[in-house]
Amino acid sequence: MSRTSKAYIVGAFEHPTRKADDKSLAQLHAEVAKGALEDAGLTKDDVDGYFCAGDVAGWDARGAGPFSIIDYMGLSLRYLDTTESWGSAYVVHVAHAMEAIAAGKCTVALITLAGRPRAEGMATGTVAAAESLTAAETQFEHPHAPTVALLYGMCAMRHMHQYGTTSEQLAWIKVAASHHAQHNPHAMLRDVVTVEEVLASPMIADPLHRLDCCVISDGGGALVVAAPEIAKSLKRPLVRVIGTGYAPKHQRGGRIDLTYSGAVWSGPAAFAEAGVTPTDVKYASIYDSFTITVLMTLEDLGFCAKGDGGKFVSDGNLISGVGKLPFNTDGGGLCNNHPSNRGGMTKVIEAVRQLRGEAHPKVQVPNCDLALAHGTGGALGSRHGSATLILERE
């Protein structure tokens, strides 16, 4: 597929709520869909392709959720994709939408995410990693109660042991996110924090402190991906998808290395398709379920050598206007929001804002013409999928 045949992201919307006590899950999906379509200058009647994952209202053992939500939103479709890869799903959906548009299956693709974990009382990192008792690994892992936070803590501990990474270096990632979140009126955590404050926060899963962990929030987001002829007819800045990559990583029959993620494969694939390198990227949206997620992903995507991530993220290098690689300028999952515990959607939304020049003026990257968005779905310490997008302002 040539670069000129790629699709465009024409609509992006992030729900402003962070606690949806008064909204149903279906309502959140409908509201983010409406917001993204209005942003694009389109209506629901223009949508002929819909992409969603397991966060949709009505998802059950029959897989009825997608049919329920398109009925609820009144969509008439030619194409439906329900690919599930957890937090990376919405990055994957952009790639799948692009492929469907190129194949002539649809012309306007809508992607939605929504969730209510905060309203439902979920606590950070406490979800069991093996939620299905029918999973192949359950009999071996479930008795040990592997929570999400523990699995990420293992990765951080191993990275520290193998490469000398420190808690202070991880803390710099949270510090950078907080510097950005102070300018986001919707962010859950808007106070700028210091390295010392991160280290002084309670230990959650050694060596990860509370401030190394993402927030729990309600809300959601949506994207609209359109064919080139439609995108160019709209009165919106043109943001083109020029590179995509996806790769799962699992435990490989016991040959486990906790120090790298699936981004070691998804990143190079996306860069090769786009015809650019990490040094060309002006802004990066990196999945930040935990600080260690960011550090490992930056290494795996090629922004620095394996083992040098601690040095790379230190001393404000990820702060917009200060460092050489601004990241997560909305505050990310560490400070802004993490709807439905799936952060890939908001990573793409903020990358689109940066390329359009619509980020907050205090964090807008000057002349931002090339951005990366990366999602991680699952858990770094066990099984996950990594998805990478390269986006260009045309």
- CATH number of the domain to which 263 belongs: 3.40.47.10
Is 130 within a domain?
no
Is the bond preceding residue 185 a cis peptide, omega within 30 degrees? no
Is 37 within a domain?
yes
Nearest to residue 144, comparing CAs of 165, 160, 130? 130
Under 8 Å between Cβ of 80 and 70: yes
Domain limits at 358?
3-121+214-393
Is 309 within a domain?
yes
Using one digit for the tens of pLDDT, what is the confidence trace for 113-126?
999 999 998 765 55
**Structural domains of the chain, count:** 1
> Is residue 54 scored above 60 in pLDDT?
yes
Query: Band of the pLDDT at 131, cuts 50, 70, 90?
Result: low
Is 79 within a domain?
yes
Using DSSP, state whether 87 is helix, strand or coil: helix
Cβ density class 37-61: b for 16+ within 10 Å, e for less:
bebbebeeeebbbbbbbbbbbbbee
Q: What local confidence, expressed as pLDDT, does residue 3 receive?
A: 47
The letter for the amino acid at 210 is R
Using one digit for the tens of pLDDT, what is the confidence trace for 24-44?
999 999 999 999 999 999 999
Query: In what helix (H) or strand (E) does residue 109 lie, and over which residues does it extend?
Result: strand 108-115
Query: In what helix (H) or strand (E) does residue 393 lie, and over which residues does it extend?
Result: strand 384-393
Spatial neighbors of 115 by CB under 8 A, at least 6 apart, are 25, 28, 55, 218, 219, 220, 339, 340, 341, 342
Is 176 within a domain?
no
State the first-to-last Cα distance of the chain, in angstroms, to the nearest integer.
Answer: 18
Q: Is the dihedral of CA 248, 88, 316, 167 positive or negative?
A: negative
Is 143 within a domain?
no
